[in-house]
Amino acid sequence: MSKQMTGAEMIVEALKDQGVDTVFGYPGGAVLPIYDALFQQNAVQHVLVRHEQGAAHAAEGYARSTGKVGVLLVTSGPGATNAITGLADALLDSIPLVCLTGQVPTHLIGSDAFQECDTVGITRHCTKHNYLVRSIEDLPRILHEAFYVARSGRPGPVVVDLPKDVQFALGLYQGPLNVQHKTYQPKLKGDADRIREAVEMMAKAKRPVIYSGGGVINSGPHASKLLRELVELTGFPITSTLMGLGAYPASGDNWLGMLGMHGTYEANHTMHDCDVMIAIGARFDDRITGRLDAFSPGSKKIHIDIDPSSINKTVKIDLAIVGDCANVLGDMISVWRAEGLKADEEALAGWWKQIDHWRARKSLAYRASKTTIKPQYAVQRLYELTKDRDTYITTEVGQHQMWAAQHYHFEEPNRWMTSGGLGTMGYGLPAAIGTQMAHPKSLVIDIAGEASILMNMQEMSTAVQYRLPVKIFILNNEYMGMVRQWQELLHGGRYSESYSAALPDFVKLAEAYGGKGIRCSDPAELDRAILEMIDYPGPVIFDCIVSKEENCFPMIPSGKAHNEMILAELSDDAGVEIGSIIDEKGKMLV
């Protein structure tokens, strides 16, 4: 089944064999042969972005919303360096990408040739793995290996750097059938004894909590199904990280909401006071733990993760199970059933009573207004008006992202695309484009901030060109709100450079690109305006003018513990200076 062809043809052939239907890219001298090969076929559609960073985030959106590997194609030098933010983003959020980069011909490498940069050197630290293809003989194997590495184990971005002479060279193409990687074989099956031990710990728990994360989404929809089953069987409360939203439905009875810095009061207190914590595909990020030596001090911790380096990285684990979430969850459920285990109902009832007490604090409440649109209200209305549709949500980074996480409720995995680990402003619009390419008939909305959206605004052109009806829903507070909030809390309200001055007229901007612009500043008009946005068959920029100085609460101040959260009500109390809650050490943290 090997066939003689050029390197460029092999690349397209390998994409087809890997089931790739869409590639996000931008041409240039060092990838012209590949563009020529793309031109002569129809199986793989190329989406021309307007900046290579956009290609990377679009591929991320495509990947996260489908579970498949996202692919981007960029030229050498500036093409590759422009893609780097997206690669770093995908690495931190465990998103499978294959990034094909052009390179100068092999004999010119190292000579400071035109548009040469050391792509494998530069991307070594922001990829899961990378390759420089030095000869045509290696090309088919490396291409298939790249897809294997990107998608297996803990997923991540892989760069394949392709010198131009290799693209022109003739060689024998091999299909992906026999890719058996000699070194990279992640452990997928959890240790049976440990699983048994974990399940027994769970059955004895008095104050348990399940803390699930992005790994459940990475593991595929089946893992989410099993997670729901486990919650059902045990009756345990469950919270999730930003990256894991949707794995357990927000409408589920046992749902505590998101945990962490901007998580709910009940989720964080449950974590703090629990006696058995079951972490599933979550990595104890500093947004979750707060002050480490005060993090859930009295609990035994079970951690299920596919990457051994995630275990004991920041928090001491009592029982580690290395394996894929779906496998381990499946085994846990079987053991629970086979041994006829039962949760400690009586203890659990008391625990739920305590949790309901925390819930009663209504930590996501905010002061409503009849005159200005509160950002939380805007997200709530957006949720109510879109929840019965087939909707995907992406976000930029800032307060709006947190309000989206708090007030938009997800029932299914792969519906929520956000930049969690790197926190990349400019992620949301290209990610929405990638998502819309994968789900042409669905409603795709980027919940944005007016500052973030300008970082990759140019991708509006891409949306228009491909008739992608993405909706950009800007919570326009005229501030880099998240920065402003920190300056208010930590720097005496000195708003250094965080005001969004000289903003464009977003309505006219939308029209200039060939899309539709809508502006709304009246809460009474909001529903009608949102429906107008949804009904418009093309891309829309919705400029939602919201109250300017709203802060995002609840919040665990930096350097504090889960049970030292600040709630909105406290911040409203006259005389309480939040700045004084955060000590000098806390101020050094991000």
Partner 1 sequence: MNAIAALSPYASALAKSGTERHTLSVLVDNEPGVLARVVGLFSGRGYNIESLTVAEVAHGEHLSRITIVTTGTPEVIDQITHQLERIVPIHKVTDLSMQDRVIERELAMIKVHGTGEHRSEALRLSEAFHAKVIDATIESFIFELTGSPAKIDDFVDLMRPIGLVEISRTGVAAITRGAKGM
Q: Which residues bind Mg ion (CB under 5 A)?
A: 449-450, 477, 481
Q: Which of 13, 52, 450, 488 is catalytic?
A: 52
**Which residues 291-310 are close enough to bind ligand FAD by CB under 6 A?**
305-307, 310
Q: Is position 291 an interface residue for partner 1 (rule: CB under 8 A)?
A: yes
Task: Single out the segment in contact with ligand TPP by CB under 6 A; choices: 1-9, 163-171, 240-248, 471-479.
Answer: 471-479
Residue 114 binds which entry of partner 1, Mg ion, ligand TPP, none, CB below 5-8 Å type-dependent: none
Long-range contacts at 501-510 (CB < 8 A, ≥ 24 apart): 503/450, 503/476, 503/478, 504/454, 506/450, 506/474, 506/476, 506/541, 506/543, 507/541, 507/543, 509/457, 509/460, 509/541, 510/460, 510/539, 510/540, 510/541
Instruction: Give yes or no for a contact between 140 and 14, defined as CB atoms under 8 angstroms apart.
Output: yes
Query: At its nearest, how many Å lie between partner 1 and the CB of residue 355?
Result: 26
Tell me the C-alpha distance between 564 and 269, whole Å: 9
Residue 291 binds which entry of Mg ion, partner 1, ligand FAD, none, CB below 5-8 Å type-dependent: partner 1
Query: At its nearest, how many Å lie between Mg ion and the CB of residue 479?
Result: 5
Instruction: Give yes or no for a contact between 365 and 568, defined as CB atoms under 8 angstroms apart.
Output: yes
CB burial string 446-479: b at 16+ within 10 A, e below: bbbbbbbbbbbbbbbbbbbebebbbbbbbbbbbb
Query: At its nearest, how many Å lie between ligand FAD and the CB of residue 420?
Result: 3
Query: At its nearest, how many Å lie between ligand TPP and the CB of residue 475?
Result: 6
Residue 187 or 387 having the CB closest to partner 1: 187
508 assigned to active site: no
Instruction: Give yes or no for a contact between 150 and 138, defined as CB atoms under 8 angstroms apart.
Output: no
Exactly one of 130, 218, 299, 487 binds ligand FAD (CB under 6 A); that residue is 218
Residue 304, C-beta contacts closer than 8 angstroms, at least 6 positions apart: 190, 215, 278, 279, 280, 281, 321, 323, 325, 328, 329
555 assigned to active site: no
Residue 502 or 588 having the CB closest to partner 1: 588
Fill in the DSSP letter of residue 329. H
164 assigned to active site: yes
Q: Is position 261 an interface residue for ligand TPP (rule: CB under 6 A)?
A: no
> Distance of CA 55 to CAs 75, 84, 204, 529, 555, Å?
12, 11, 49, 30, 34
Q: Which of 45, 114, 384, 549 is catalytic?
A: 114
Task: Single out the segment in contact with ligand TPP by CB under 6 A; choices: 37-45, 187-195, 334-342, 478-486.
Answer: 478-486
3 state DSSP class of 238:
strand
Alpha carbon distance, N-terminus to C-terminus of the chain:
54
Greatest alpha-carbon span in the chain: 77
Q: Is position 481 an interface residue for ligand FAD (rule: CB under 6 A)?
A: no
Instruction: Give yes or no for a contact between 211 and 246, defined as CB atoms under 8 angstroms apart.
Output: no
**Which residues 451-470 are close enough to bind ligand TPP by CB under 6 A?**
451-452
Q: Is position 404 an interface residue for ligand FAD (rule: CB under 6 A)?
A: no
560 assigned to active site: no
115 assigned to active site: yes
Q: Which of 68, 128, 164, 374 is catalytic?
A: 164
Q: Which of 332, 402, 480, 482 is catalytic?
A: 482
Exactly one of 102, 190, 449, 539 binds ligand TPP (CB under 6 A); that residue is 449
Q: Is position 396 an interface residue for ligand TPP (rule: CB under 6 A)?
A: yes
Residue 240 or 477 having the CB closest to Mg ion: 477
Instruction: List residues with catalytic annotation.
Output: 52, 114-115, 164, 482
